[in-house]
């Protein structure tokens, strides 16, 4: 039976997380439901894209990923069903899908919504759940919605690449206040070309080696490594890098007068 993941910006204190799962189980009690996260920061597209992209690639082929993030950026006339790399993604037509995939999807189906229908998180979840159920029953993608539907696209954050440096944006800060930057190991090595490097993330704070994990440095020392999702992470062994160094994610608001940094630069020499 269908394996369904849920990602949302709802937060666990809200009743909606449980109600959404109940909606899905009413459609089909045999659905297997797995939470990815319900703590996406409001309106933070780069964070949502990073979390979804990093998690989805680990799931079995033909899993279904319901992404309930910023569902009402605009009046919905359709939802999107996307098939890409043997995974199904269902989400609002709000531009997030292009940021998650970072490339054109293999197939996009528009799922029309009736003009008179009430639109809220539960009704949109029901439409997504019914779509999954139809696919499980053998209904073809072309019968479910509109093939090759037009959809909103937003540009994903790309690091700035120059011959002697690469500059990335902070896209996520985890609960330990470790800082994730949108520079992948592949991008780093491709740009490095065997040269020495220096990671600069605040005035006077630098790192000149890549560690394997936190235990590579003494407690309280800073380090940089590529995390399990393949992205550059800056951390302090048993400390909080974001708080200590004044690092903020690219989408996070900064209070007036607050000294904060949103980017990380790697120089090659």
Write out pLDDT tens, residues 187-229. Answer: 999 999 999 999 998 877 899 999 999 999 999 999 999 999 9
Domain 3-147 bears CATH identifier 3.40.50.10790: yes
Of 185, 210, 212, 183, nearest in space to 198 by CA: 210
CA distances from 100 to 5, 71, 88, 129, 171 (A): 15, 15, 13, 21, 13
DSSP 208-222: -S-BSSGGGS-TT-E
| Range(s) within the chain of domains with CATH label 2.40.30.90 | 160-268
CATH superfamily of the domain spanning 160-268 = Bacterial fluorinating enzyme like (2.40.30.90)
The model's pTM is 0.91
Q: Which two tokens stand for residue 238?
A: 């048993």
User: What's the pLDDT at 256?
Assistant: 44
pLDDT of residue 174: 94
* Spatial distance between the Cα atoms of 137 and 30, rounded to a whole number of angstroms: 13
pLDDT at 141: 84
Q: Given pLDDT bands bounded at 50, 70 and 90, which one contains residue 126?
A: very high
Sort strands 64-68 and 87-92 into parallel, antiparallel or unpaired.
Answer: parallel
Roughly what angle, to the nearest 10 degrees, separates helices 121-136 and 16-27?
Answer: 30
Give the residue-averaged pLDDT of 119-135: 96
β-partners of residue 161 are 166
Q: Where in the chain is the domain with CATH 3.40.50.10790?
A: 3-147
Distances, alpha carbon 88 to alpha carbons 36, 116, 234, in Å? 15, 27, 32
pLDDT at 260: 54
DSSP β-bridge partners for residue 88: 64, 83
Of residues 24 and 117, more confidence is placed in 24
Mean pLDDT on 77-106: 96
240 alpha-carbon distance from chain centroid = 22
């Amino acid at each position: 039976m269908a394996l369904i993941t849920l990602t949302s910006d709802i937060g666990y204190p809200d009743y909606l997380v449980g109600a959404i799962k109940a909606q899905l189980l009413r459609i089909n009690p045999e659905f297997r439901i797995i939470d990815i996260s319900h703590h996406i920061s409001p309106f933070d597209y780069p964070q949502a894209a990073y979390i979804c992209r990093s998690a989805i690639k680990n799931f079995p082929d033909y899993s279904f990923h319901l992404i309930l993030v910023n569902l009402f950026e605009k009046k919905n006339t359709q939802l999107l069903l996307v098939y890409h790399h043997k995974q199904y993604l269902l989400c609002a037509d709000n531009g997030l899908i292009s940021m998650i995939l970072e490339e054109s999807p293999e197939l996009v189906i528009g799922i029309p919504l009736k003009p008179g229908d009430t639109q809220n998180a539960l009704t949109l979840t029901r439409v997504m759940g019914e779509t999954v159920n139809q696919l499980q029953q053998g209904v073809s993608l072309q019968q479910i919605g509109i093939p090759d539907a037009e959809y909103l696209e937003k540009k994903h954050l790309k690091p700035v690449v120059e011959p002697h440096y690469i500059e990335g944006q902070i896209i996520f800060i985890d609960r330990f206040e470790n800082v994730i930057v949108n520079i992948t190991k592949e991008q780093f090595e491709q740009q490095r070309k065997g040269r020495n490097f220096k990671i600069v993330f605040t005035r006077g704070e630098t790192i000149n080696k890549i560690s394997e994990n936190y235990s590579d440095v003494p407690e309280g020392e800073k380090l940089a490594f590529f995390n399990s999702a393949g992205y550059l992470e800056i951390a302090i062994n048993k400390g909080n890098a974001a708080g200590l160094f004044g690092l903020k994610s690219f989408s996070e608001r900064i209070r007036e007068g607050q000294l904060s940094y949103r980017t990380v630069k790697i120089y090659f020499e």
